[in-house]
A and B are shown apart, each in its own frame.
Chain A
Amino acid sequence: MAETVNQTQNFLKGIVKENPIFVMLLGMCPTLGVTSSASNGLGMGVATMFVLIMSNIVVSLVKNQIPSKVRIPAFIIIIASFVTIVEMILEAFVPFLYEQLGIFIPLIVVNCIILGRAEAFASKNNALSSLIDGLGMGLGFTLALTILGATREILGNGSLFGLKFVAENANTFILFILPPGAFIALAYLTVLFNKVTAKTAK
């Protein structure tokens, strides 16, 4: 049965139909917390995507070995191990990003997208489908975070990926880099996203 799953659709659903941020509104903590710039959003997205893909694969491989009563602690251990690995690698090789993301890296452990996919998808499907599911969901998450980060950075700082395109002393909407700006930008982007996808669905 698993073989009949259309892999293309499996991949695309994470980006559009079941986009974790704009449609399912999961994982709001890092979404609102780190997206003050496009590069922060991208970095967080890629780190989360790596953990999501790896945990999806491992969970689907060991799903039959784990008694269902202890599956949640088992999943959490698997996820936490990968998060710790990501944290150490980031600290060693991209210390700049490690400092920017700070506490939000260890918090990937409790990101509900990852546990949600492990429970809802990987524990019921084979490794290949789980990998593709993780890739699609991870890309959807990364795209959403980068777009949100870019929007906030352009409006709030007059720059994109750190490149400033307004005059040094120009007044920008500082509100958008502050925490309330995250909520406002996210709300409008969600509306926009759902408006566009609703139209194309017709």
Chain B
Amino acid sequence: MKGIVFTELFEMIEESFGLETLDKIINEADLQSDGIYTAVGTYDASEIGKIVSKLHEISNIPIADLVETFGRYLFKSLNKIYPQFTERAPDLMTFLESINSYIHPEVYKLYPDAELPHFDTVEKTDSLIILKYRSKRKMYVLAKGLIHSAADFFNEKIEVEIELEEDDGSVAIIKVQKVDE
């Protein structure tokens, strides 16, 4: 898992729950990295799960909500650092389609060891895109948050439906439908 995911997660926790909560999570979550992350590094993906579980314990907020909220937060941060990807896309559907075909290839240029999820386009119209999510990380919920946040950026109203193709969540069909306001 890329370090930026960890550093952004920490930042969100600090902003929303305070440094004490973050400190508590780090101290109690039994992290191999001791909570030391840098955006340019790569870390064990299971540590994300440990951090989110701890946060759930402390805050009592459901894990799925936490992950989706983090997805929304992560999109804004990434878009701030790498605005070129949204800039070149005229709308949400085009942007979503470009994840697999353009954004991820660009990521690989900087981090050849990155293990990124696949978003294959199954179907696409002006108002609909069906993506097939495939990842060992099984974090389609994070993707859902990211997509919603992206829709906000493009100022488009959408509904997202997720259907698991594999029960463990490693393959999921994500249907993004534009809705009228």
Q: Bound pair: A and B?
A: no
Give me the interface of A with B, judged by CB distance under 8 Å. Answer: none
Give me the interface of B with A, judged by CB distance under 8 Å. Answer: none
